[in-house]
Structure 1
């Protein structure tokens, strides 16, 4: 069931919310049970066959958590290792078995065949969520073990399919708070507003720019410089608004129930370096990789080389988390290299007194970071390495600079000058070329120059860990407040979204 579908918007959501509020007035545990059951139904809608797998995972990890909490020091660690090992084995089987067998066949020249394994949707997210629960229990951070709340913590439908990756300590106190079981018009209005903004990002921007990215990645035959960059930038903004839209919709839906989710997306393309990018993109996954992998490997506690090695290992595994394939491994490796270079540069800049805070450098660094991220998206999106290599060659001008012939008549004598410097003109594709770059420019303007959703909603605590930060743009005074103008504006946006829901599309992060 998609957030951007009529069934969800006009049947599932209103029924679940109304019954939740009605039951909550009488029995809070029963209301939590209802929300958990509704979340299981939401999951089963995709494929009921994997509901048993989800429930088995929940029961297993809950029991492991109890054993960790009740055991002495030695047994605690054994239960923790056993629980995490089983979680990772399950994830490895469904997500990586086919890839590992294919690699083994290539290396050993064997004909081993493995039947295609259907990836259970959301398995990466509910697995990481529960691993975090086991580690938090081992560290004594978990204080409440009511099963119905644990079930809801794992299955809570706004986050179940594509995150954020939650911490037990963030959510359990909220499930025990009687306020969430009472009707709050503030929560309803704030939640709906955030949801509509997220829906607009997905339906009106991401889905409309997607075909222009697909043009390149589905047919990467010797793309010229501008065609290659147009397609790559189209994908960069497609995934940006798709994931940003999902994150907003998840936060908005949760707020309808009085529950605040942590931020998972915070204008990452405005980052001045790759370290900041990972503090803004998929924030809860970055937090998980830092807390449970990078620090566990030793972090920066064992010297510079070990620190850089830990960064590379973390990002390579982070790449594989997104998908089983060489392209994801290369994508993770690129970001590992970016992080190593960034940390080395920051240390050098501090030593030589380089003006990192100057406006000129921040602008330059932001552009450099964005270009580096876009370059890595080529491998993230490509179906295989040969496709990625073809597109990279186009990005670097390996297939020349081409412009649709439709522009030739408007260039006059400038056409001859362009031809002298190697620019070629190709037949057809003029309309598509203009549409691609028009969408790219529009999306870039929104991403770089408009305040993000939490900044617009900053007066009403839009997320669990939100802090007000200063931002300077022409629209800095734009903020949401209960008013007729905001109601009408968002109502119009919602109507436009509904008119675009004839063929609702999956969110990109559903496949991870």
Structure 2
């Protein structure tokens, strides 16, 4: 049916080397880390080549049939970038080179990610009988957007000339390659070029291990722990009012702890190599507006959509109406980026509508009196979170009809189970809510600042204190014990 979410080849998924796997933790990561610092003794270039090759090994462990596609993408974009940076091309030829580069990237992404979706919709409308089942290369959305940003900046004259090994590592760097964050060349390539990053830094390695432990705990204990409750709403049964809400809220927290856990693990792994990755999360469920939510959720994607889609469309420079149109287009395409399904498009459109309402409210609503500020902030927080939960139903549901059905059950309090099981499940979800709403986030706990390239507090010494070491060891042990035989990160599907 048109609009359904694509399935995944089970054998391919089972073969992936995941951050939350024994193979990665006890073999790949230690060997790669040791090899990186050994190669660093022979110079920065040797270490960079080693890390790029290790990244390709990591990718090939789950996606070996698409390694050539990844390498071809790197070579193609580096060549286009070279034309834009090194060659003194006339303006028309520069624009033609940029157009060819971006079009080539989008064409490859479109074939692998959207051709099947397009064929399914054409078949639904015109009964063509044509169906396409194309295997989606893991991480293609992330490394495609990363390189489009590089080409656009090269066209704008904002890119220095980079050596091919450093550029290849920038694209293939394994901590981000599978599920982000979306990297920017200005943040990453200068770090790869520094020789001091190829020497082991015990403080950074310790802090990286602690951040990795927190992320692993989020994934294996929190995200995987609440996953069974998601089926209350999104399973094949008929949920009651309270079951639908419990399931929707369970997915809301599962997605957060799963993706933020991956992002923490990526930051921690990279920190062991002396490389600082950008933040991707900043307690988004604490937001008091949708505008604030998108400054906190998947921050690197939000920045990409703002800088390379919303602003080029005109942003807010062409009047209020076009500003809202640009917001809707940006968020609809942002939804489609997540997956080739109408449910993702509706999710993006909903957030575009939320943002339009938020901007209109900020412009037209009268200021809140100081004595009502706390009540207004609480109401804004609750309304924002409720809006996000409703949108997540479309994000998770397999079809539009199932999403609408689940929302209808969430809006029908006449069908309530409210038995002992639902009470326990509701209390379980409430514990997750307390963690998301009240607990400090990882960067606050660890004092991580990727812009200042610091971690561990002002003195940089507190992670070595016994209390933090014992707590980190306990969290790491719980995370490792929580590893299941196979537990894919949700954003691997995008």
TM-score of the superposition, structure 1-length normalised?
0.89
State the partner residue of 1:74. 92
2:463 and 2:144 map into 1 onto residues whose CA distance is: 38
The answer to whether the aligner puts 1:118 opposite 2:132 as a matched pair is no
Give 1:116-155 correspondences, 5 Å limit.
116-155=133-172
The question of whether the paired residues in 1 share the 8 Å contact of 2:220 and 2:484 is answered with no
State the partner residue of 1:496. 478
State the partner residue of 1:440. 429
1:113 deviates by 3.0
The answer to whether the aligner puts 1:305 opposite 2:305 as a matched pair is no
Q: 1:307 to 1:465 in 2, by over 3 A?
A: farther
Gaps of 5+ in 2: 1-16, 456-460
1:482 deviates by 1.8
> Which of 1 and 2 has higher RCO (CA within 8 Å, sep 6+)?
2
State the partner residue of 2:248. 232
The alignment partner of 1:403 has SS state of coil
The question of whether the paired residues in 2 share the 8 Å contact of 1:263 and 1:463 is answered with yes
State the partner residue of 1:402. 417
Two-structure CA RMSD over aligned residues (Å): 1.7
1:294 deviates by 0.5
Matching residue within 168, 189, 202 for 1:172: 189
The answer to whether the aligner puts 1:450 opposite 2:432 as a matched pair is no
Gaps of 5+ in 1: 405-429, 469-478
1:88 deviates by 0.4
1:157 and 1:342 map into 2 onto residues whose CA distance is: 37
Q: 1:113 to 1:481 in 2, by over 3 A?
A: closer
Which structure has the greater CA radius of gyration?
Answer: 1
The answer to whether the aligner puts 1:354 opposite 2:354 as a matched pair is no
2:272 and 2:357 map into 1 onto residues whose CA distance is: 43
State the partner residue of 1:261. 277
Q: 1:438 to 1:504 in 2, by over 3 A?
A: farther
The answer to whether the aligner puts 1:3 opposite 2:5 as a matched pair is no
2:23 and 2:454 map into 1 onto residues whose CA distance is: 35
2:452 and 2:240 map into 1 onto residues whose CA distance is: 44
Matching residue within 97, 109, 115 for 1:97: 115
The question of whether the paired residues in 1 share the 8 Å contact of 2:149 and 2:184 is answered with yes
1:390 deviates by 1.2
The question of whether the paired residues in 2 share the 8 Å contact of 1:5 and 1:501 is answered with yes
1:435 and 1:208 map into 2 onto residues whose CA distance is: 14
The alignment partner of 1:359 has SS state of helix
The question of whether the paired residues in 2 share the 8 Å contact of 1:58 and 1:151 is answered with yes
Matching residue within 208, 214, 227 for 2:231: 214
State the partner residue of 1:162. 179
Give 1:314-353 correspondences, 5 Å limit.
314-349=330-365, 352-353=366-367
State the partner residue of 1:510. 492
TM-score of the superposition, structure 2-length normalised?
0.92
Matching residue within 45, 52, 55 for 2:71: 55
Deviates more, 1:389-398 or 1:260-269: 389-398
Deviates more, 1:192-201 or 1:437-446: 437-446
1:26 deviates by 2.1
The question of whether the paired residues in 2 share the 8 Å contact of 1:191 and 1:252 is answered with yes
The question of whether the paired residues in 2 share the 8 Å contact of 1:234 and 1:436 is answered with no
The question of whether the paired residues in 1 share the 8 Å contact of 2:216 and 2:480 is answered with no
